[in-house]
Amino acid sequence: MSGQRPPLTRRSFLAGSAAAGLALMTGCGTPAASGPPALQLRPGPMTLDVAGTGARTWGYGTVPGPEIRLRAGELLRVRVTNGLPDDTTVHWHGLAPPNAMDGVPNVTQRPIAPGSEFTYEFRTPVPGSFMYHAHVGMQLDRGLYGPLVVEPRDEPLAYDREHTLMLDDWADGVEQHSRHTGEEPGTSAISDAREVVSFGGRRYPFLLVNGRPPEDPTVVEGRPGDRLRLRVMNVAADTGFRFAVAGHPLTITHTDGMPVEPVTVDALRLGMGERYDVLVDLRQRGGTWQIGMEPEGRSGAGRALLRYTGSPASTAPPAAHRPSELDGRLARYDELLSTEPLALPSGSPDRVFDLTLEGTEISGQSYPDADPLPVVEGEWVRLRMRNTGAKWHPMHLHGHHFQVRTPSGRGPVKDTVAVPAHGGEVGIDFLATNPGRWLFHCHNHHHMADGMVRLVEYRS
Ligand code: C2O
Ligand code: CU
C-alpha cells in the first residue's frame, strides 16, 4: 500500500525478550552481550522517490522507517548500526525510558560513530502512539524517523482497522525544486497578522504523508460502516499542520498517545512532535475521500486518500482538492479532558519555573549557554511559558509526561505542547520521577539548532 516494509510483528520482539530481560537485571540497562536483538535499525544514505525526483537522503531503509510495535510492558530492544558518514543517535519521542536510553548525544550517551553500533533496551509500560527519530543536529529533517506504537494489554477502543499517518515537510535532496512556495501569506491578504498561526518560516518544496507527495498518495482503505483508528503524527521540522478528512468528522481519543474523553471535531492542528489518535466512522456509501493537510501560516498542501473498498481509482479527488473541514471546528487544549490525569498531590507545586519564549531564546539564553532547570526526584514541577514572539513553539519534554494546565483541572497529558504566539501562555505540570538529565526544547528543528533548549537536571 505505502511501499513501506511490513510492520514488525510482536513475535519478533518476544523472541528477544527472555535473554534481554535477564541482561537488564544483571547489566543495569547496559546492552546485553548475548541474545538476538529484536530489531535492527540501519541508518544510512538512501534515495527517496518524491514525485520522480530521486531525492538523496538519509533514512532507516524506508521513509518513514519500519514501524516498531509492541505491547505495554514489553522490552524494546533495538540495535542501531550506523551506516551514515556522521554520528547519530535514536530518540524515542514520547516514551519515558531510563535516561541512558534517551538518545541525546553528549547528554545521555556518546553519539554512535559511523560504522559502530549501540543497542537501546528498556521496558515500555505506557501504551500510546509515539515516534522514533535521530537526535543529532538536523538529521531528523532528513528521513530518519519512524512510528512507534505501544498497544495496551487490553484495547479499550473498538475499531476495525488502524493506520498511522506521519506528516512531514520535505526539502532534503530536492532543495532546488520550486513547487509549493512555502511563502508566508503577505500581510495585505491578512487583516490581522496576529491571527496567522505559524510555527516556522523556512521553505519546504514538498509536504509528505508517510513519505509520499500528493500525486502519489498513501491510500487508507475501509468498508462502509467500518470504524478506523488513525494515528496522526507531525514529524515535520518547521511546519505545524491542519489535518482533516473530507466528509468524515474526527473523534479525538488520545493526544500524544495519552487518553482523553472523546471529542468530535472537523480538523486537527498539530505542532511538530504532536500526535493525535482519532476514530473515523466510515459513514459514506463509497467513493474516495481526500485526507488533507495544509501548513499553518503558509501555502501548500499534502494529502492521503481514504478509499472505500471496491471504489474505482477514478473516484479519487484531484491532488489539489481542499477539504472544507480544514476550516471547521478544532479542539483547544482546554476542551480536552484527560481520562488518566497525573497523580498530582493537592496544594501547590514544589518548584515553578517561569520561562519566556522570545525568538528562539528561552528567557534570554541559548543552549548550550543556558542554565539547567534543577529538580529533585519526587517533586511536583511546574513550567510556565509565555511566548512573546511571532511564531508558535511546540515545546517538548523528554522522559516525562506532563499535564497541560487548563481551567478544568483535567487538561490533556502530553509530551509536546504548542505555545501560541503574541503573548500566548501555557503551563505544564509534571512529576519528577525519572532521574537524569532531560532535554526540554522547541520541536522546530531550526529553533532547536539555534539553542531553544534547556536541560531539566535532577539533583540530589
Ligand atoms: Cu522528538 Cu528532543 O525530540
Ligand atoms: Cu520554536
Is 308 part of a structural domain of the chain? yes
Is 340 part of a structural domain of the chain? no
Q: Which atom of ligand 1 is nearest to the CA of 448?
A: 2
Question: What's the gap in Å between 120 CA and the centre of ligand 2?
Answer: 28
Is 365 part of a structural domain of the chain? yes
Distance CA 284, CA 440 (A): 43
Residues 6+ apart with CB under 8 A from 155: none
Here the cell at position 68 is 516498531
How many CA atoms lie within 13 Å of 152's alpha carbon, on the beta-carbon side?
10
Q: What averages of pLDDT result for each successive group of 10 residues across the chain (460 residues)? A: 35 31 32 60 96 94 97 96 98 98 98 98 97 96 97 95 97 74 46 73 92 96 97 97 98 98 98 98 97 94 97 92 97 97 96 97 98 98 97 98 97 98 98 98 97 97
Question: What's the gap in Å between 151 CA and the centre of ligand 1?
Answer: 21
Q: Which atom of ligand 1 is nearest to the CA of 104?
A: 2
Same domain, 165 and 141: no
Question: What's the gap in Å between 387 CA and the centre of ligand 2?
Answer: 10
Q: State the DSSP H helix or E strand holding residue 351, giving kind and residue range, or none if neither.
A: strand 351-358
Here the cell at position 49 is 522517490
CA distances from 232 to 8, 149, 190, 363 (A): 19, 12, 29, 32
Please give all residues whose beta carbon lies within 6 A of any atom in ligand 1, as ranges: 91, 93, 133, 135, 273, 396, 398, 439, 441, 443
For atom 3 of ligand 1, which residue has the closest CA?
Answer: 93
Q: Which atom of ligand 1 is nearest to the CA of 133?
A: 1
- Please list, residue by residue across 71-81, b when 16 or more beta carbons sit within 10 angstroms of its beta carbon and e when fewer do: eeebbbbbbbb
Q: Which atom of ligand 1 is nearest to the CA of 273?
A: 1
Same domain, 115 and 176: no
Same domain, 261 and 316: yes
Boundary (domain end) residue, out of 125, 151, 177: 151
The whole-number pLDDT of residue 101 equals: 98
Minimum-distance ligand to the CA of 395? 2
Question: What's the gap in Å between 369 CA and the centre of ligand 1?
Answer: 19
Same domain, 246 and 312: yes
Residue 262: how many CB atoms within 10 A of its CB?
Answer: 15
| Residue 437 lies in domain | 351-458
For residue 236, what is the domain's CATH number?
Answer: 2.60.40.420
Minimum-distance ligand to the CA of 130? 1
Boundary (domain end) residue, out of 101, 125, 151: 151
The whole-number pLDDT of residue 1 equals: 36
The whole-number pLDDT of residue 37 equals: 55
Q: Which atom of ligand 1 is nearest to the CA of 93?
A: 1
Boundary (domain end) residue, out of 331, 361, 376: 331
Question: What's the gap in Å between 450 CA and the centre of ligand 2?
Answer: 9
Q: Which atom of ligand 1 is nearest to the CA of 398?
A: 2
The whole-number pLDDT of residue 9 equals: 32
Same domain, 367 and 425: yes
Same domain, 211 and 327: yes
For atom 1 of ligand 1, which residue has the closest CA?
Answer: 93
Total tally of structural domains belonging to the chain:
3
Is 1 part of a structural domain of the chain? no
Question: What's the gap in Å between 272 CA and the centre of ligand 2?
Answer: 9
Question: What's the gap in Å between 23 CA and the centre of ligand 1?
Answer: 27
Is 131 part of a structural domain of the chain? yes
Same domain, 139 and 266: no
Three-class secondary structure of residue 84 per DSSP = coil
Same domain, 258 and 375: no
The whole-number pLDDT of residue 313 equals: 85
Closest to 336 (Cα-Cα) out of 398, 261, 397: 261
Distance CA 223, CA 308 (A): 5
Minimum-distance ligand to the CA of 140? 1
